[in-house]
Amino acid sequence: MLYGKLRIHTCRVILITSLVWFLVDVVVLSFYSDCIGGGCKKLDNIQAEPLVEDPIFNEKDQEDTLNEPQEGNINNGIGGVSRTYSAKMLRRWRPAPVVPSVSGRVGEMGKPVHVPPEQEALMKEKFKLNQFNLLASDMISLNRSLSDVRLEG
């Protein structure tokens, strides 16, 4: 008889503890969630407005920053924080210049780096900065692939 009551009591304690932790989890998730029930912070009225007046991008137009938007174009978000970037932060996209590949440099295809004797003092001075050979690292090529040493066939 004692074992039956003990089992029921143990099951009740486990069940109540699990329910308490479940409720704590629900409260924490609802506190950190953006949307609960009907009070959801949905942004249904977002309408994108163009910042530049011309519909076609003109290649001759190479100004760095875009024109300031009018006061009516700024769409304030929740708490008065703007959902758009200010025009001072925006810049026109330009393709990055292509870096030409130079072959035969130090460190390319597994070649070792040999520091010239006249740069030994500079190498030791740079080594003191962070215990790393910065001079050799700066000399190493970006293309550090190794040559293929597999046998044919």
Per-residue pLDDT at 26: 92
* pLDDT < 50: residue spans in the chain: 1, 54-66, 68-70, 72-73
Give the predicted TM-score (pTM) of the model. Answer: 0.31
- How does 79-102 read in b/e, with b if 16+ C-beta sit within 10 Å? eeeeebeeeeebeeeeeeeeeeee
pLDDT of residue 3: 65
If you ran DSSP here, which 8-state letter would residue 91 be given?
B
The whole-angstrom separation of Cα 95 and Cα 101 is 18
> What is the tens place of the pLDDT at every residue in 99-136?
777 777 777 777 888 888 999 999 999 899 888 888 88
Instruction: Read off the tokens for 99.
Output: 């870096």
Given this model, what pLDDT does residue 33 score?
78
Which residue ranges make up each domain of the chain? 1-29, 108-139
The answer to whether the beta carbons of residues 63 and 91 sit under 8 Å apart is no
Q: Which two tokens stand for residue 52?
A: 């530049």
